[in-house]
Amino acid sequence: MNNNELHRLLEQVKNNDISIEKAMSNLDTLRSFGDMDFAMIDNNREARVGYPEVVYGEGKTPEQVAKISSYMCSNNQNVLITRANLEMYEAVKEVSSIAEFNELARTITIKNKTIDLSEHTIAIVAAGTSDMPVVEEAYETAIMLGNRAIKIVDVGVAGIHRLFNRLEEIKKARVVIVVAGMEGALASVVGGLIDKPIIAVPTSVGYGANLGGIATLLAMLNSCSSGISVVNIDNGFGAAYSASMINQLV
Amino acid sequence: MNNNELHRLLEQVKNNDISIEKAMSNLDTLRSFGDMDFAMIDNNREARVGYPEVVYGEGKTPEQVAKISSYMCSNNQNVLITRANLEMYEAVKEVSSIAEFNELARTITIKNKTIDLSEHTIAIVAAGTSDMPVVEEAYETAIMLGNRAIKIVDVGVAGIHRLFNRLEEIKKARVVIVVAGMEGALASVVGGLIDKPIIAVPTSVGYGANLGGIATLLAMLNSCSSGISVVNIDNGFGAAYSASMINQLV
Amino acid sequence: MNNNELHRLLEQVKNNDISIEKAMSNLDTLRSFGDMDFAMIDNNREARVGYPEVVYGEGKTPEQVAKISSYMCSNNQNVLITRANLEMYEAVKEVSSIAEFNELARTITIKNKTIDLSEHTIAIVAAGTSDMPVVEEAYETAIMLGNRAIKIVDVGVAGIHRLFNRLEEIKKARVVIVVAGMEGALASVVGGLIDKPIIAVPTSVGYGANLGGIATLLAMLNSCSSGISVVNIDNGFGAAYSASMINQLV
Amino acid sequence: MNNNELHRLLEQVKNNDISIEKAMSNLDTLRSFGDMDFAMIDNNREARVGYPEVVYGEGKTPEQVAKISSYMCSNNQNVLITRANLEMYEAVKEVSSIAEFNELARTITIKNKTIDLSEHTIAIVAAGTSDMPVVEEAYETAIMLGNRAIKIVDVGVAGIHRLFNRLEEIKKARVVIVVAGMEGALASVVGGLIDKPIIAVPTSVGYGANLGGIATLLAMLNSCSSGISVVNIDNGFGAAYSASMINQLV
Amino acid sequence: MNNNELHRLLEQVKNNDISIEKAMSNLDTLRSFGDMDFAMIDNNREARVGYPEVVYGEGKTPEQVAKISSYMCSNNQNVLITRANLEMYEAVKEVSSIAEFNELARTITIKNKTIDLSEHTIAIVAAGTSDMPVVEEAYETAIMLGNRAIKIVDVGVAGIHRLFNRLEEIKKARVVIVVAGMEGALASVVGGLIDKPIIAVPTSVGYGANLGGIATLLAMLNSCSSGISVVNIDNGFGAAYSASMINQLV
Amino acid sequence: MNNNELHRLLEQVKNNDISIEKAMSNLDTLRSFGDMDFAMIDNNREARVGYPEVVYGEGKTPEQVAKISSYMCSNNQNVLITRANLEMYEAVKEVSSIAEFNELARTITIKNKTIDLSEHTIAIVAAGTSDMPVVEEAYETAIMLGNRAIKIVDVGVAGIHRLFNRLEEIKKARVVIVVAGMEGALASVVGGLIDKPIIAVPTSVGYGANLGGIATLLAMLNSCSSGISVVNIDNGFGAAYSASMINQLV
Amino acid sequence: MNNNELHRLLEQVKNNDISIEKAMSNLDTLRSFGDMDFAMIDNNREARVGYPEVVYGEGKTPEQVAKISSYMCSNNQNVLITRANLEMYEAVKEVSSIAEFNELARTITIKNKTIDLSEHTIAIVAAGTSDMPVVEEAYETAIMLGNRAIKIVDVGVAGIHRLFNRLEEIKKARVVIVVAGMEGALASVVGGLIDKPIIAVPTSVGYGANLGGIATLLAMLNSCSSGISVVNIDNGFGAAYSASMINQLV
Amino acid sequence: MNNNELHRLLEQVKNNDISIEKAMSNLDTLRSFGDMDFAMIDNNREARVGYPEVVYGEGKTPEQVAKISSYMCSNNQNVLITRANLEMYEAVKEVSSIAEFNELARTITIKNKTIDLSEHTIAIVAAGTSDMPVVEEAYETAIMLGNRAIKIVDVGVAGIHRLFNRLEEIKKARVVIVVAGMEGALASVVGGLIDKPIIAVPTSVGYGANLGGIATLLAMLNSCSSGISVVNIDNGFGAAYSASMINQLV
């Protein structure tokens, strides 16, 4: 419940549009966290940092994920679960029939409230087809956080004219996410061509001396282009989260 | 020479306020780069990505640094040299008497044009006194790129009340740079408390298992807080550059 | 057989409460080790370092684990098996029907003797739900070694008010185990807030640049807070063992 | 100023043994921190975690170290500076003539208040002569934090009878610090012989595949003996700090 | 075919005990290698370095392993296959019914010729039960190469009296193989107690910061005891091969 | 479509041998890339760098691989898919019945156009039988790119006479690919014996301290022989691609 | 002495143009190596692999370098010493007054025989001014080995139009050396634009997560462009040696 | 004092050839160690493991080294100090005028007793001139431990005929030490050619991806040849110590 919603609720109380009891129940979500024994849902996160808590699925049981989803639905929050799998989705479906599963992105989303999209756009630019799972995770996150977003994929530097062909679209965005594996050179090349902040996401696409994405990560951190900051390997969610904060600055 | 300056110049030509010859000389900087044998100065960088080229001093001789500075001064550009030392400063002083040297930051700056400061502010928050060189490099860069900036230092999590005491100031900034060495926990803690994008800079402050900042870098990349992206170890310049792009978004 | 038990046995002999033969059989466990061909059970471990041997299950066959359990049961020792799996549990069940299996903790316990709990308490504090297996291993170990223990989970620094809410409970403990993955910042934050020794356990919760917990381990070793020592990744057992030694100091 | 001292001060005020003005000045140190521009001295650290702030010298200028020392002396605190050098010592000497420098330990100490030594003892056990700097840092820290401590050096496992010869002394301690470089086997061997908590300190003594102490650190983290927790490479201070917390538990 | 066998064969030819044709067929194995398309069997290896070729199973198909075995059997050589699995064994069984499979050791052996055991003995000393696979590989290799060998297991330093109990047996050996995982301290301790060459084998027993045996390997390479050389992680074969060379020196 | 083919097509148009419509359709492949939503096929790659695009199978779905194959077949291009599996082959079979699958090499090839083999030869020299998959990938690539190639396997330095036996064949090649795992010494030895450029491919054959081929890679990069350059671990494709460029220089 | 020179010498003998004694002295260099106690000069290297031995200066004393130079001069060979310093140059000057020192390249060269330059050209393309030492080492080596070579520097991808401006020159070369530090993206970009073999040289230009060039090396090994092989960090010599072999293929 | 010497002394006592007092003084060295405050000299090392203690100079002060030397001289022991420098030598000279310093080997030796050389020989084989310091340390150690030894240097695999030329000499040794830097291939090649145990010493000769000898170390541990065991980087002493144990086996 953000401040606008809180204001509206109290007006309803004032105007007798809602009973004290109902209001009290609704206000329950204002408590700083919901203690679920195995988890403490951070309820005032939206007020504090701008978005409700996002659920990191990895290492949780389908039951835990479903219970957290149920709790958040009961507070009328939108739900975004990352690193999710089919078992989790089936469990979540039981508590919310409108839950959606993007298998490639490994995300479950529940849209309990309408999402108003931002004025500005996030461009998600990716080097290769194999980077699609990370692109999808970033895209789903961007949308859930209320951003317009476009996907531009398979424009890696081995065929640099493909990138130049899409450059105008990229330049129109307010912030750019560059997703790449292998040597990650796409981030440096884009960084040398545009004047917008770039969030680079190294992916674990590669083998051998790629070291599960570490080579890509190091390359991006050492970019000779300026204006590039980096998130963890395969962290499409984190990139979109940072990009969203930037995209919605007023 | 950015587009505004170009427009102005051509108006001067139109109005006969400037001779064709003079205009041609001024326009020389519009050529895409200045070939100096050992270096190619990227002249259209400002038009392309928003700022003129910044000189990375490491590995260059004082003579090379001075020549590049001289070339940029002749084009009436402001000059920022990072990773500079005293020998470089002495050489640069010869070509521009207004050059300034911040020894702690290891930067040389030449302000040939007035810098208009941005409406918004970048907060540079640092864990300890030993992180000051990186703070200074970030601050000098932020100023040269036209940003308001404040420094908040020695607020590491070993004494977390020091951070809470400065939290309101930090929240007023549009974008926050967090500078920390050792385990770099400050980035995660700040990330959990504010709703602004954070650029985290790991520093090489530490010893042993710190591995020259690698431990800090890895920690920041794995932050459990969202909205944090990371730059290279000790890269105060890079953080400020990204922060500036974000801070000046309209 | 500890010194108290030995004293009691010899009194029984003196008082003719027990036959020489029976006493001899019981004293068998005083021999320094029991040779089982594939293993040498360290019998005088309890006298020497305070606790009987703990069985590390990994890399042993269910049969070996069962045989060791049987031997220790015959000496009336309590049995703690770590890194155990269901197959091992089924084999152990055959030799001791009171064996219990904590699947999350991956521990098998056989309580042949009553465990008197210590006066003081160990607090086990964990950052996230995904750290629960390590929390459980630490908890089972703490209990088997005769300690009071409490679990405080999902209080990571991304929502630091959750930690502050539980701080008084933590402060009442004599020694604190902090369990965290990702960047492990919780250890530093707790370390800056309390005056008790902390044993930090990095977990392998994370991905990419987490490097299977190495990032967390390095971060904890570089903590800017004092009073923190560290054990191996996911080593809930080792942390509880050290904590138990500290908790029971007189 | 700890709680006992605070109580005493207020009694003096009550009994008119001290003027209000003087008391106010003394109470200044109760403020949570002293802002020195480049550093924020954590004044309530002693009340919060049991000891006043310790100054980490590395990366600070001699002037900064001297100013911090001066501030702490004015609050009648004992001062411990680690990773100090001769230049720092000379600067500190100017602000406190009773400052002492242990060159081997790289510590500066100022004893403004008498230190009452603890009832129990910390044993500092080291493998070789080359480990002495870390032993000394640990010893100086232990003493400053109010502990009895003994040093037992050059008892590495290459000549294990040297260790057995000193074992009784080691067993009398309440907590043991084991300092070793190379393969660090001493920690495991001591861990298998005593029933007290051990803080292991890997040192950077070695070459080649020692990797500046990383090999030793990893070995200690993988000890087959229980009851061992580990601090950063060469971190004699951290080991003594943890040991002190344990040694003074009541 | 070694020199003694060659001498004997030629005497048989001289004495007409064998036909020229048969001798020629037997001498075929003297050719420097047998080309099998996918492999070139090194036939003069025994003459050159003292033992026939040993087959490394990993990465070969069961068919390839069987064909190589068949070829070597036809030359009346003993066959040792390491890193073998059940599928390989079943294929080899088809070409030699006397093939034996040691599942723990992952070795297949075919004894076509009687093995005369050496005068001296190799001691294989291991820290824990989990190290048994490596012990078995070393033992099988030692026997196939014609050595007496004894196994002494579960004598790790966490209970060092177990080692002392077996020390006399170890001292009687001419060369000692020490097998250990985790921190590998057993190698250093044994090295400080005996005057025989030691081949240390790090095992991958451990988890987390053990890094798949790398921690153990580094520790052993940094041993403070002299007279220790090291082979690859889990390389029981290599240790036994080196030990055999030493054990059979005249 | 290369320049020769383009020339021929336009001649056909000029001579009325082909309708304008048909020519337009054929020329479609001249567009710089074919946008397939999930992939942008680089159509002018052959004109630009000499060969059509090669499809990297890893991380793509069988459907994606089949669609790309279909597109390239429709442009009458030969198709080479690396890192392919059986599922991909079955999908590709549906779109081109002449597709072939080399399971060991993990390649799918579709030869829509006849391949004219080069005058010169590439020698692919490998240390052991376990390196065969990489040898096969290199061989398939070399053939598809139009090279004569020979395979010389199992000539590792443990039996160096096997290498000398094949040396004359190797010397006849114009460029040599050396494939080896473990310590990769074969590259250095060959490098010291011949006067042709060598492309070295480290393989992931090995275990323990081999680190998945990293040890081999580092060794090859540090070769004391000159004339050796290196590609990624197991990158038979990349080695053959570089070798082909060299082999076909005129 | 190569085959042509040998042929000429023997003709001189046949024609009585040279005394038997003189010829014998000249032929001395045909012996396979010259034993200098601390070094064995590889005399038949030129016949075997095409070039005389190159001296690696690092780790040799100036005296050793001078003696080797003297020996090679007496055999009328050209001398190339890499990783040389001023002390070595001064010592070499004593034995050959025509020795030249390129301080930036760290090479000493002695041209005793005229060098005929090749028909084809090697292009040495570098990302930044700080990469110049490696460029120079490659250039000196290329010239000494008889190649035409051009240098194209400071064309890194942060300002990619600088590269496009020089592309035609690069395309005219028969083989291209790409020298870059930081993320090394230049290699991938060039690789996507030309159809010639590329030897990539990572440099140690960078800091922090660059890890002394390891990040660059890994990036280049993972290039998404084909036709790129890699040499050791800062190994300008090795790159030029491989390039020369390729450049001179007939 | 070894057993022979002890026997002789007691015979002298029995025969009245020596006074009781003198004998007692001589027997003082039989005590298990000499406590020197900063060091405990391991007196019974020779009886236990066959050789007196060797002093590791690194990290000790010249004064400490001199005191230990003096103590050992007073016990009539030969003294070997490794990793020594000139300052140490000057201090040792003061306590024993017969001390010798091998600067290249970094060893100080004091021969108080005649050294009888062994029947068998250790061959020390090295790849390059730059490996000489390690060769010298191994040689000095071998001699001090009573072995015949020969040095064969600069026979690296880049010119493999140099090695073959010396092979007969190498084959005559009982044990071979192979010293090499860079890729260390010499160990594998020698291992494939002889039937004697090999101790391989990786050296830190190299740069870039050599990682200070780590690449060489890993390569040697992964050797495809059998019969090779490895010691730490640059550890000529350790190799010679192991080789001596093997060389003197009876």
For chain E, 250 residues long, give each residue's pLDDT as a single digit of tens. Answer: 556 666 777 777 777 887 776 766 566 555 566 777 777 777 767 767 677 789 999 989 999 999 999 999 988 889 999 999 999 999 999 999 999 999 999 999 999 999 999 999 999 999 999 999 999 999 999 999 999 999 999 999 998 989 999 999 999 999 999 999 999 999 999 999 999 999 999 999 999 999 999 999 999 999 999 999 999 999 999 999 999 999 999 8
Q: How far apart are CA H191 and CA D57, in angstroms?
A: 52
Burial (CB count <10 Å: 0-12, 13-18, 19+), residue F18: middle
Q: What are phi and psi of C223, to 5 degrees?
A: -55, 135
| Mean pLDDT of the residues in chain D | 90
Distance from CA of A199 to the nearest CA of B (A): 7
Question: Is the pLDDT assigned to residue F66 strictly greater than 90?
Answer: yes
Q: How confident is the model at residue F43 (pLDDT cuts 50, 70, 90)?
A: confident
In terms of average pLDDT, the best of A16-25, E158-167, H29-38 is: E158-167
Residues of chain G with Cβ-Cβ distance to F51 below 8 Å are 226
Q: How far apart are CA D10 and CA D21, in angstroms?
A: 13
| Mean pLDDT of the residues in chain A | 90
Mutate to test the interface with G, among B36, B40, B241 (most CBs of G within 10 A): B40
Mutate to test the interface with B, among C131, C160, C162, C188 (most CBs of B within 10 A): C188
What pLDDT score does A164 carry?
Answer: 93
Closest chain H residue to the Cα of D155, Cα to Cα: H40
Q: How confident is the model at residue D15 (pLDDT cuts 50, 70, 90)?
A: confident
Question: Is the pLDDT assigned to residue H75 strictly greater than 80?
Answer: yes
What pLDDT score does A141 carry?
Answer: 97
Question: Is the pLDDT assigned to residue H45 strictly greater than 80?
Answer: no
Q: CB-based contacts of A8: which residues, under 8 Å, 6+ apart? A: none
- Among A193, A227, A241, whose Cβ lies nearest the Cβ of B242? A227
Q: How confident is the model at residue D4 (pLDDT cuts 50, 70, 90)?
A: low
What pLDDT score does B150 carry?
Answer: 97
Q: How confident is the model at residue A210 (pLDDT cuts 50, 70, 90)?
A: very high
D47 or C239, greater pLDDT: C239
pLDDT-flagged residues of chain C (< 70): 1-7, 21, 23-33, 44, 47, 49
Full DSSP string of G80-130 = EEES--HHHHHHHHHH-TT-EEETTTTEEEE-SS--PPPSSEEEEEES-GG
Q: How far apart are CA D141 and CA B22, in angstroms?
A: 71
Q: Are strands E79-82 and E107-110 parallel, antiparallel or unpaired?
A: antiparallel
Q: Do chains B and E touch (3 or more CB pairs under 8 A)?
A: no
Q: What is the mean pLDDT of residues H24-48?
A: 68
What pLDDT score does G39 carry?
Answer: 78
Tokens representing residue F131 in the block: 């390196």
Q: Do B219 and C188 touch (CB under 8 A)?
A: no
Question: Is the pLDDT assigned to residue B24 strictly greater than 70?
Answer: no
Tokens representing residue A112 in the block: 């309990």
Using H for helix, E for strand and C for coil, what is the string for G217-241?
HHHHHCCCCCCEEECCCCCHHHHHH
What pLDDT score does B1 carry?
Answer: 56
Closest chain H residue to the Cα of G210, Cα to Cα: H208
- Among F51, F197, F237, whose Cβ lies nearest the Cβ of G242? F197
User: pTM for the full model?
Assistant: 0.90
Question: Is the pLDDT assigned to residue D29 strictly greater than 60?
Answer: no
Q: How far apart are CA H19 and CA H25, in angstroms?
A: 10
What residue type is G239 in one-letter code? A
What pLDDT score does E1 carry?
Answer: 57
Question: In this predicted structure, which of E103-112, E153-162, G134-143, H228-237 has the lowest mean pLDDT?
Answer: E153-162
Sheet with F121-126: strands ordered across: F148-152, F121-126, F175-180, F198-202, F228-230, G228-230, G198-202, G175-180, G121-126, G148-152
Distance from CA of E203 to the nearest CA of F (A): 9
The enclosing H or E element of H198 equals strand H198-202
Closest chain D residue to the Cα of E211, Cα to Cα: D218
Q: Do B188 and C157 touch (CB under 8 A)?
A: yes
Q: How far apart are CA A2 and CA A44, in angstroms?
A: 9
CA dihedral angle for residue F207, residue F213, residue F216, residue F218, rounded to 10 degrees? -130
Question: Is the pLDDT assigned to residue D21 strictly greater than 80?
Answer: no
Q: How confident is the model at residue A21 (pLDDT cuts 50, 70, 90)?
A: low
Task: Give pLDDT tens digits for A65-74.
Answer: 999 999 999 8
| Mean pLDDT of the residues in chain F | 90
Question: Is the pLDDT assigned to residue F89 strictly greater than 90?
Answer: yes
What pLDDT score does C238 carry?
Answer: 97
Judged by phi (left if over 0) then psi (alpha if -120 to 50, else beta), residue E160 lies in alpha
Q: Do A188 and G226 touch (CB under 8 A)?
A: no
Radius of gyration, CA atoms only, chain A = 20
H176 or G2, greater pLDDT: H176
What pLDDT score does H188 carry?
Answer: 97
Distance from CA of B13 to the nearest CA of A (A): 29
Q: How confident is the model at residue B38 (pLDDT cuts 50, 70, 90)?
A: confident
* Nearest one of A226, A244, A153, A148 to A190, comparing CA atoms: A226
What pLDDT score does H13 carry?
Answer: 75
Q: Do D245 and C195 touch (CB under 8 A)?
A: yes
CA dihedral angle for residue H186, residue H192, residue H195, residue H199, rounded to 10 degrees? 30
Question: Is the pLDDT assigned to residue B227 strictly greater than 90?
Answer: yes
DSSP E115: P
Q: What is the mean pLDDT of residues G226-235?
A: 97
Q: How far apart are CA F156 and CA F179, in angstroms?
A: 10
Which residues are registered as beta bridge partners of B126?
B179
Q: Do F246 and G246 touch (CB under 8 A)?
A: yes
Mutate to test the interface with F, among E32, E36, E40, E51 (most CBs of F within 10 A): E40
Q: CB-based contacts of B30: which residues, under 8 Å, 6+ apart? A: B1, B6, B43, B44
Contact G161, G175 (CB under 8 A): no
Kindly list the distances between the CA atom of residue G161 and the CA atoms of A160, B42, F89, G164, H46, in Å, as whole numbers in the listed order.
12, 9, 42, 5, 72
Task: Give pLDDT tens digits for G153-206.
Answer: 999 999 898 999 999 999 999 999 999 999 999 999 999 999 999 999 999 999
Tally of CB atoms within 10 A around F42: 22
Q: Do B221 and C211 touch (CB under 8 A)?
A: no
What pLDDT score does B203 carry?
Answer: 97
Question: Is the pLDDT assigned to residue A109 strictly greater than 80?
Answer: yes
Q: Are strands E107-110 and D40-42 parallel, antiparallel or unpaired?
A: unpaired
What pLDDT score does H1 carry?
Answer: 57
Task: Give pLDDT tens digits for B54-110.
Answer: 999 998 999 999 999 999 998 889 999 999 999 999 999 999 999 999 999 999 999
Question: Is the pLDDT assigned to residue B27 strictly greater than 70?
Answer: no
Question: Is the pLDDT assigned to residue B29 strictly greater than 70?
Answer: no
Q: What is the mean pLDDT of residues F189-200?
A: 95
Sheet with C198-202: strands ordered across: C148-152, C121-126, C175-180, C198-202, C228-230, D228-230, D198-202, D175-180, D121-126, D148-152
Q: Do C183 and B158 touch (CB under 8 A)?
A: no
Q: Do chains E and H touch (3 or more CB pairs under 8 A)?
A: yes
- Among A182, A193, A220, whose Cβ lies nearest the Cβ of G224? A182
Burial (CB count <10 Å: 0-12, 13-18, 19+), residue B126: buried
Q: Do B185 and C182 touch (CB under 8 A)?
A: no
Residues of chain F with Cβ-Cβ distance to E40 below 8 Å are 153-155, 159, 162
CA-based torsion, D118, D123, D128, D134: positive or negative: negative
List the alpha helices (DSSP H) in F75-183: 86-95, 132-144, 160-172
Q: How far is CA E211 from the centre of its chain?
A: 25
DSSP F38: S
Q: Do H249 and E246 touch (CB under 8 A)?
A: yes
Question: Is the pLDDT assigned to residue G249 strictly greater than 90?
Answer: yes
Question: Is the pLDDT assigned to residue G29 strictly greater than 90?
Answer: no
Tally of CB atoms within 10 A around D97: 8
Q: Do E228 and H242 touch (CB under 8 A)?
A: yes
Q: How far apart are CA H26 and CA D79, in angstroms?
A: 50
Q: What is the mean pLDDT of residues A215-244?
A: 97
Task: Give pLDDT tens digits for E213-223.
Answer: 999 999 999 99
| Mean pLDDT of the residues in chain B | 90
Q: How confident is the model at residue H202 (pLDDT cuts 50, 70, 90)?
A: very high
What pLDDT score does H17 carry?
Answer: 84
What pLDDT score does C194 carry?
Answer: 93
Q: Do C56 and E130 touch (CB under 8 A)?
A: yes
Instruction: Give the E-state strand segments of chain E in sequence order.
Output: 33-35, 40-42, 55-56, 79-82, 100-102, 107-110, 121-126, 148-152, 175-180, 198-202, 228-230
What pLDDT score does D14 carry?
Answer: 74
What pLDDT score does H24 carry?
Answer: 63
DSSP B112: S
Q: How confident is the model at residue G20 (pLDDT cuts 50, 70, 90)?
A: confident
Q: What are phi and psi of C213, to 5 degrees?
A: 100, -10
SS3 for H57? coil
| Mean pLDDT of the residues in chain G | 90
Residues of chain E with Cβ-Cβ distance to H198 below 8 Å are 242
Question: Is the pLDDT assigned to residue D149 strictly greater than 80?
Answer: yes
Closest chain B residue to the Cα of C164, Cα to Cα: B160
Q: How confident is the model at residue B4 (pLDDT cuts 50, 70, 90)?
A: low
What pLDDT score does F40 carry?
Answer: 76
